[in-house]
Amino acid sequence: MLEAKALTCIRDERELFSGLSFSVQGGEVVQVAGHNGAGKTSLLRILSGLARPDNGQVFWQGELISRARDIWHRNLLWLGHQSGVKSVMTPDENLRFYHPHSTRQARWQALEEVELLGYEDVPVAQMSAGQQRRVALARMWLSDAALWILDEPFTALDVAGIEKLTVKMEQHVGRGGAVILTTHQPLRALVCPLRSIRLTAGEVVGQ
């Protein structure tokens, strides 16, 4: 699915990682680990096409993502640190914006999955940070993208919410999709293949 070749990332004149190469196949979860400041978010942003590496390239099914943007974006679900939802819109309107072909029933079902049913017509600006985060996570129940790149998806979720999201990732991978994520919360034992890439002091171990 995805291949990273010889990626180098420098931030504020500090090399976060260099010569990083790996591939991601359908049917697996890849966890990017490392201490704060190791470059986890920077790597995910490079993989998603939101940032450029200082060296190296990222390929989607053999094509540079910079040359196949339309196909790449159709196959990518990106959820970053920020919720990415529009505060002047309601949860239902936000989901319709990201998934214009979805039905209202499907959108409301997604909101129910993240415990927001009843808030579908409340402006996001009136919701808590945790609720806004769950609006963004509801996209996982509507997405048919093959690759999910998730930066700290469990933030602001309780134990039940973390479990529900973990099951959703397992189901996605079980259908042949792939997940790349970072998380400070430990992952429980998964029913699908899990691989770890650890960024440590400019080096990469555990590929």
CATH of the domain at 157: 3.40.50.300
**Cα separation, 44 vs 66, whole angstroms:** 15
Per the DSSP assignment, residues forming a β-bridge with 31 are: 181, 196
Q: Are residues 2 and 99 in the same domain?
A: no
Query: Which of these three, 115, 144, 173, is where a domain ends?
Result: 144
User: Of all helices (H) and strands (E), which one includes residue 171?
Assistant: helix 159-174
Q: Are residues 104 and 19 in the same domain?
A: no
**Cα separation, 69 vs 179, whole angstroms:** 19
pLDDT tens for residues 10-31?
Answer: 988 889 999 999 999 999 999 9
Q: Are residues 203 and 158 in the same domain?
A: yes
CB 157 within 8 A of CB 132: no
Q: Are residues 71 and 159 in the same domain?
A: yes
- Do the domain assignments include residue 71? yes
Query: Which of these three, 144, 162, 189, is where a domain ends?
Result: 144
Look at residue 37 in the predicted model and tell me its pLDDT.
87
Structure tokens at 173: 């991978």
Domain of residue 30 covers: 1-75+146-207
- When mean pLDDT is compared across 60-64, 119-123, 137-141, 152-156, the lowest value belongs to 152-156
pLDDT tens for residues 92-102?
Answer: 999 999 999 99
Q: Are residues 105 and 6 in the same domain?
A: no
- The predicted model gives 84-90 an average pLDDT of 91
**Cα separation, 199 vs 47, whole angstroms:** 15
Residues 6+ apart with CB under 8 A from 73: 49
Query: Which of these three, 144, 164, 182, is where a domain ends?
Result: 144
Sign of CA dihedral 126, 153, 115, 90: positive
Q: Which of 122, 121, 132 is nearest to 84 (CA)?
A: 132
**Cα separation, 33 vs 14, whole angstroms:** 19
Q: Are residues 4 and 52 in the same domain?
A: yes
Phi, psi of 6 (to 5 degrees): 55, 45
- Do the domain assignments include residue 29? yes
CB 111 within 8 A of CB 91: yes
- Do the domain assignments include residue 80? no
Q: Which of 163, 166, 2 is nearest to 71 (CA)?
A: 2
Q: Are residues 63 and 163 in the same domain?
A: yes
Q: Are strands 55-60 and 63-64 parallel, antiparallel or unpaired?
A: antiparallel
- Do the domain assignments include residue 121? yes
Look at residue 145 in the predicted model and tell me its pLDDT.
95
**Count of structural domains within the chain:** 2
Structure tokens at 146: 């093959």
